[in-house]
A and B are shown apart, each in its own frame.
Chain A
């Protein structure tokens, strides 16, 4: 449960590696509740080794601190995060930032195996794109290149 009075503060915190994406749109905040005179927040990691998680916890505490609120941040592993938890607004923010948003699991598999050209270039919108590497600039992304405009770009891999 996320206490709705806390949402505006949480929305100001963004993923340190994708600054346009708030942690609310990312879907990593699992709960945020008042416990007596402090706030308890639970977040879930995107990938196990995501180095952004430690920074995120600090950023959340700092955001509450700014409002004079003391908070505690806990990491929860279950249920595991999935890209389905990225909101529609989050997906739009990714695309605007130049990162192709994740497809559903089936389409993702086809695209990463190179069976189908369905990943849209965030620069020109062409689907004439090819995978360069399953692993991109961070663990959550694959590297693609657009064959129409030649631009390389990141694709946010589906995680389910």
Chain B
């Protein structure tokens, strides 16, 4: 497959890790308890680490002396290809957990397939990520059950987050032309084949948590095409501030 499309395909996976990692890192020092604070920031660190591996690979494909930092910090909003789900704000802890749970479940299914990619670098990153994301999924699923099957208030709040964020999960299974090309080249994953398993796994956890799966006909989409929600600009302003204000500055 041509280089430009391969780069776009990698963005569609890596940008999810970057943006979700950025959201989770916002909880550093602000988690509801010390343990959850540490857990969320550890997951942010895993996601950022995965992002670095993907972006370092992209930088080698781009050549011309480009680095992972150019890829992370110097793209415009429309050039990020993450799904809308991961950029949604940390409205309350229920939203943090629901967003994480919806993404972790997808993420693990994706990496389990991506580890067999004919692209050796992507396969290696996926294989490493599987171990980490299994921990994330266990953490978020446990909290879904704890909040759902907890007090009346925790139940109501997590259900609210589940209902709101569910509308952003449809996009996870959309295929762009470069995704299709990546699948045909044996590099990418056909995400449409993950959908059934995804819905089954989500339902099982929500059932156990005494929560209900929202019934929706219409889903939000656009992130994968670079058309983001109003939250993305603020997130990027925070993320890119240093490099934009002091170009090429080093830590």
Smallest CB gap from B131: residue in A: A159
Smallest CB gap from A132: residue in B: B35
Smallest CB gap from A49: residue in B: B49
Query: Are A48 and B50 in touch, CB under 8 angstroms?
Result: yes
A50 and B128 alpha carbons, distance in the complex (Å): 12
Smallest CB gap from A160: residue in B: B131
A47 and B53 alpha carbons, distance in the complex (Å): 11
Contact residues in A for B135 (Cβ distance below 8 Å): 134-135, 157
Q: Closest CB of chain A to B161's CB: distance in Å? A: 21
B183 proximal to A (CB < 8 A): no
Query: Are A48 and B35 in touch, CB under 8 angstroms?
Result: no
Contact of A48 among B38, B53, B121, B139 (CB under 8 A): B53
A29 and B107 alpha carbons, distance in the complex (Å): 29
A124 proximal to B (CB < 8 A): no
Interface residues in B116-134 by Cβ distance below 8 A to A read: 120-121, 123-125, 127-129, 131-132
Of A12-20, A63-71, A88-96, A136-144, the stretch lying at the interface with chain B is: A136-144
Of B40-48, B92-100, B197-205, the stretch lying at the interface with chain A is: B40-48
- A138-B42 CB under 8 A given contacts A49-B52, A50-B49, A78-B120: yes
Q: What is the interface of chain B mostly: helix, strand, loop, or mixed?
A: helix
- A135-B128 CB under 8 A given contacts A45-B49, A49-B50, A77-B53: no
Contact residues in A for B46 (Cβ distance below 8 Å): 47-49, 139
A133 proximal to B (CB < 8 A): yes
A51 proximal to B (CB < 8 A): yes
Contact residues in A for B131 (Cβ distance below 8 Å): 80, 159-160
A143 and B129 alpha carbons, distance in the complex (Å): 22
Interface residues in A69-91 by Cβ distance below 8 A to B read: 77-80
Query: Are B129 and A48 in touch, CB under 8 angstroms?
Result: yes
Contact residues in B for A80 (Cβ distance below 8 Å): 124, 127-128, 131
Query: Are B128 and A48 in touch, CB under 8 angstroms?
Result: yes
A138 and B47 alpha carbons, distance in the complex (Å): 14
A136 and B129 alpha carbons, distance in the complex (Å): 19
Query: Are B139 and A49 in touch, CB under 8 angstroms?
Result: no
Contact residues in A for B132 (Cβ distance below 8 Å): 47-48, 139
Query: Are B127 and A78 in touch, CB under 8 angstroms?
Result: yes
Taken residue by residue from 128 to 160, chain A's Cβ proximity to chain B (1 for < 8 Å, 0 otherwise) reads as 000011111111000100000000000001011
Query: Are B49 and A134 in touch, CB under 8 angstroms?
Result: no
A137 and B47 alpha carbons, distance in the complex (Å): 17
A133 and B48 alpha carbons, distance in the complex (Å): 21
A159 and B43 alpha carbons, distance in the complex (Å): 15
Q: Closest CB of chain B to A26's CB: distance in Å? A: 16
Interface residues in B71-123 by Cβ distance below 8 A to A read: 120-121, 123
Contact residues in A for B124 (Cβ distance below 8 Å): 77-78, 80
A133 and B35 alpha carbons, distance in the complex (Å): 6
Smallest CB gap from B21: residue in A: A49
Known A112-B138, A133-B38, A143-B38; further 12 A-B contacts with Cβ < 8 A? A47-B49, A48-B49, A49-B48, A78-B128, A79-B127, A133-B36, A134-B135, A134-B138, A134-B139, A135-B135, A139-B132, A160-B131
- Using a CB–CB cutoff of 8 Å, the interface residues on chain B facing chain A are 35-36, 38-39, 42-50, 52-53, 120-121, 123-125, 127-129, 131-132, 135, 138-139
Give the 3 A-B CB pairs with smallest separation, nearest first.
A49-B49, A48-B49, A78-B124
In the assembled complex, 26 residue pairs joining A and B whose CB atoms fall closer than 8 Å, in A order, are A45-B49, A45-B128, A47-B46, A47-B49, A48-B49, A48-B52, A48-B125, A48-B129, A49-B44, A49-B49, A49-B52, A77-B121, A77-B127, A77-B128, A78-B120, A78-B127, A79-B127, A80-B124, A80-B127, A112-B138, A133-B38, A133-B39, A134-B138, A135-B39, A136-B38, A159-B131
